A and B are shown apart, each in its own frame.
Chain A
Amino acid sequence: MIEEKFDAIVVGAGMAGNAAAYTMASRGLKVLQLERGEYPGSKNVQGAIMYASMLEKIIPDFREDAPLERHLVEQRFWMMDDKSHTGMHYRSEDFNEDKPNRYTIVRAQFDKWFSRKCRDMGVTLLTETTVTELIQNDQGKVLGVKTDRKGGAVFADVVVLAEGINGLLGPRSGLRTSPKPETVALAVKEMHFLPAETIESRFNVKGDEGVVIEMVGTFSKGMTGLGFLYTNKESISVGLGCLVSDFAETRESPYAMLEGFKNHPSIAPLLEGSECKEYAAHLIPEGGYKEIPQLFGDGWVVVGDAAHFNNAIHREGSNLAMTSGRLAGEAIHRIKAARDPMTKEHLKLYKQLLDDSFLMKDLKKYKDMPGLLHTNSSNFFLSYPQLVSQAAQNFLRVDGTSKLEKEKRTSRAFIEKRSRIGLISDAVRLAFAWR
């Protein structure tokens, strides 16, 4: 047992854990951070896109030395069938601003940097140290943690659980349940290396500009799923994710699906000549607002993916992680400054700060979306992409058929596939869920 007592112990050194640790240490708290990986980021495989304004609130001048890949100037959204894609692209010179809004990052490098910032601020970080259980008293108050190291019990006023989506600690201690298969996606990703000049010419960008493509379509075989492609400085992150319950039901293999995806005629030319250096898989919380567990209790709070904070519709995960970590850190600091105990009653402040922030407001807005997309997955991810593709081709091919007849054909195809009532009901439900 370690005699020394800390103000706070943070379990995990990902986005949420680092944000919490940094926030607390920068306000003078004595923070111990425990990470099971060999170094922060070694277990993190996110895509990834990082949103500047959420990090600015923690480290305002991060652009000076953070390992950023490219700032995004163009977003593409594709609906794909087996041979085609119908796309919407948005590109703007406005994104080439002094302080860009979105960046691609490589988490293994970014997390190392973030962790260095935490340590510079005074956080004591132990790596290769797994927290095995929470130390609780008879009333369930969390007093500290036990680790897998000899003499590994250590105590603190509060424990911040930033253990990620499949963290075992919270469920094992009865603080929350494990995520259900229908509320988490399994994402697989590859990193493909290409020279910077090739990426720039292939994606029509220059310097540090970057492009993101997000796709839905037949590649997910009717499952609720999303494909993605991000340009980094000298590599491309490409991957896809589908709900775990869908994978279980369809018996599809994620890896085979990714192979098919990479060989799609719209994607293969973008990757041509690249060298795949890394294959990774990870779980992503997709359940939204309805799956958020109890967020605080006597002597503990939960942040980031572990708290199911992910906006699946806008694919915002790391910024919610950073924001929840920061707000937990701020709440803990305020309670500490007021010399109040870290009880459930006082830690409620964390939840109040969350409720007042964009984080909870956004998640609440889309609370019905995950359910809708899942129950109608074959329509949204299989039928509609095919129909849209057919419609586009029908419209563009000039073959002597009258335009009126073409329009009729297109609407007939939609109705045959989904019925008039089905189409209207999907549209109405989508509108309500988006509201």
Chain B
Amino acid sequence: MHIVVCIKQVPDSAQIRVHPVTNTIMRQGVPTIINPYDLFALEEALRLRDKHGGEVTVLTMGPPMAEDSLRKALTFGADRAVLLTDRFFAGSDTLATSYALAAAIEKIGEVYGKPEIVFTGKQTIDGDTAQVGPGIAKRQSLLQLTYVSKIAELDLDGGKITVERRSEGGVQVLETKLPVLITMLEGTNDMRRGSMADALRAARSDLVIWSAKDAGIEDILKCGLRGSPTVVKRVFAPAARAEKAEQIEIRPAAIDTADALIETIFGTLPALETELVELHQTL
């Protein structure tokens, strides 16, 4: 079995700030990490490989410094890492990114075997769009399972996979045919710590580094800024809210706490009280 996991190197959002005057993200000096959602996808892929055999290839598109993230993925136990890097990719939006990644996955399939499963995280923490995974699925004509919280069963012989998918109002249990693209939810597993052998291998293995041409991308106009119709019209930092949360002390009896809560709410919203009283009277 062959699994491809798409990861992205992102600035650590916990340490990022917005410039107070220009409203642009201040990336300078902010450390980079693997997009946390992608780690759940990677761990899930490694578990499937350990159980069913096969290989896990990690793929990223980014500047040469994205090598750090790929090496880290190898330390966790991935078998191969592919870095898609080219100045033509600069400025890609989700459309251009999914175009390039889909082409690279096609190429990976030709060189290392066609993947049964392509994993991505639910979304990235810098873009927050959750569009790239489905974009790849569409271009590759893969069935897609988004917001997956659990891989329930993988039947390689039967070419079937059963997953649990979180949706509004509950959990869906879905079965579908392979090959498939899965976007993984957060909190579904804990990333393993790579063994000493994995760490040594990761430190010494050569990454597969592909340019647009190497990945078989012919239409450069679909890449980077030129292939990106998205226009950012305005970036702004939302103003901090003036009102503060009010804390209500818990009383010994639950009903007293509830009363205190209602009293506080009605204290700030007297109109609501009148409305509810009227409603109660009409009933």
Most buried by B among A126, A128, A151, A154: A126
A124 in the interface (beta carbon within 8 A): yes
Asked whether, in the complex, the Cβ of A2 is within 8 Å of the Cβ of B203, the reply is no
The proximity string for B residues 189-219 relative to A, scoring 1 for CB distances below 8 Å and 0 otherwise, is 0000111110110011000000000000000
In the assembled complex, A332 has its CB within 8 A of some CB on chain B: no
With both beta carbons as reference points, the residue of chain B lying nearest to A119 in the complex is identified as B203
**Closest CB-CB distance, B89 to chain A, in whole Å?**
24
The yes or no answer to A306 lying at the interface (CB within 8 A) is: no
Point out the residue from A2, A4, A149, A153 that lies within 8 Å of B193, measured CB to CB.
A149
Asked if residues B203 and A154 are in contact (CB atoms below 8 Å), the reply is: no
State in angstroms the CA–CA spacing of A150 and B199 once bound together.
Answer: 10
| Pair B197/A151 contact, Cβ less than 8 Å | yes
Cα of A4 to Cα of B193 in the assembled complex, Å: 21
Question: Is A147's CB within 8 Å of the partner chain B?
Answer: yes
Contact of A125 among B194, B195, B203 (CB under 8 A): B203
A171 at the interface (CB under 8 A from B): no
State the Cβ distance, A249 to closest chain B Cβ, in Å: 37
**Assembled-state Cα–Cα distance A4/B196 (Å):** 12
* B142-171 at interface with A (beta carbon < 8 Å): none
CA distance A32 to B196 in the complex (A): 12
| A153 to B194 CA separation, bound complex (whole angstroms) | 14
Decide if A149 touches B204 in the complex (CB within 8 Å): no
Task: Point out the residues of chain A lying under 8 angstroms from B75, CB to CB.
Answer: 128
A150 to B193, CA, bound (A): 8
The interface size bin for chain B is 10 to 19
Say whether A150 contacts B200, CB under 8 Å.
no
A152 interface residue per 8 A CB criterion? yes
User: Chain A: which residue is nearest B195 at the CB level?
Assistant: A150
Q: Are B196 and A150 in contact (CB under 8 A)?
A: yes
- Cβ B195 vs Cβ A126 within 8 A: no
The answer to whether B200 touches A126, judged by C-beta atoms less than 8 angstroms apart, is yes
Minimum CB–CB distance from A206 to chain B (whole Å) comes to 23
Which residues 394-414 in A have Cβ within 8 Å of B in the complex?
Answer: none
Tell whether, in the assembled complex, residue A124 and residue B196 are in contact, meaning their CB atoms are under 8 Å apart: no
Distance of A126 Cα from B72 Cα, bound (Å) = 10
Q: Is the CB of B196 within 8 A of A154?
A: yes
Q: How far is the CA of A124 from the CA of B205 in the complex (A)?
A: 11
B200-252, CB < 8 A from A: 200, 203-204
CA separation between A140 and B207, bound complex, in Å?
41
Judge if A129 is at the interface, Cβ distance under 8 Å.
Answer: yes
Chain B residues with CB under 8 A of A147? 196
Residue numbers in A under 8 Å from B200 (CB-CB): 2, 4, 32, 124, 126
| Interchain CA distance A149-B194 in the complex, whole Å | 7
| Chain B contacts for A151, CB-based, 8 A | 195-197
Nearest opposing residue in chain B for A147, CB measure: B196
- Over the window 148-172 of chain A, the binary record of Cβ atoms lying under 8 Å from chain B Cβ atoms (1 yes, 0 no) is 0111111000000000000000000
- Least Cβ–Cβ distance between B12 and chain A, in angstroms: 11
CA distance A379 to B145 in the complex (A): 74
Q: Across the interface, which residues of B come within 8 angstroms of A4, CB to CB?
A: 200
A147 to B75, CA, bound (A): 15
Name, among B75, B193, B195, B200, the residue most crowded by chain A CB atoms within 10 Å (CB to CB): B200
Output the least CB separation between B14 and chain A (Å): 14
Q: How far is the CA of A154 from the CA of B196 in the complex (A)?
A: 9
A126 — which chain B residues lie within 8 A by C-beta? Answer: 196, 199-200, 203
Chain A residues 28 to 83 lying within 8 A of chain B, measured CB to CB, are 32
Question: Chain A residues near B197 (CB, 8 Å)?
Answer: 2, 151
CB proximity to B under 8 Å, residues A121-135: 124-126, 128-129
Distance (Å) between the CB of A86 and the closest chain B CB? Answer: 37
Query: Looking at B196, B200, B203, B204, which has the most chain A CB atoms within 10 Å of its CB?
Result: B196
Q: B203 touching A124 by the CB < 8 A rule?
A: yes
| B203–A149 touching, CB < 8 Å | no
User: Considering the chains assembled together, what is the distance between the CA atoms of A32 and B201 in angstroms?
Assistant: 12
Give A353 to B20 CA distance when docked, in angstroms. Answer: 55
The proximity string for A residues 277-293 relative to B, scoring 1 for CB distances below 8 Å and 0 otherwise, is: 00000000000000000
A128–B203 Cα gap in the complex (Å)? 12
Residue of B nearest to A38 (CB): B31
Which residues of chain B come closer than 8 Å to A125, judged between CB atoms? 203
Residue of A nearest to B193 (CB): A149
Is B204's CB under 8 angstroms from A2's CB? no
The CB with the most chain B CB atoms within 10 A, among A128, A149, A153, is that of: A149
Cβ–Cβ < 8 Å partners of B204 in chain A: 124
B282 to nearest A CB, angstroms?
59
CA distance A150 to B198 in the complex (A): 9
Task: Specify the chain B residue showing the minimal Cβ separation from A124.
Answer: B203
For residue B195, which residues in chain A have a CB less than 8 angstroms away from its CB?
149-152
Closest residue of chain B to A148 (Cβ to Cβ) is: B193
Kindly list chain B residues whose C-beta atoms are within 8 Å of the C-beta of A124.
Answer: 200, 203-204
Q: List 11 A-B contacts (CB under 8 A).
A: A2-B196, A32-B200, A124-B203, A124-B204, A125-B203, A126-B196, A129-B196, A147-B196, A149-B193, A149-B194, A150-B196
Q: A151-B196, A153-B196 are in contact. List 7 more A-B contacts (CB 8 A).
A: A32-B200, A124-B203, A147-B196, A149-B195, A149-B196, A149-B199, A151-B195
Question: Lowest 9 CB-CB distances: which A-B pairs, in order?
Answer: A150-B195, A152-B196, A149-B196, A126-B199, A151-B196, A151-B195, A124-B203, A149-B195, A126-B203
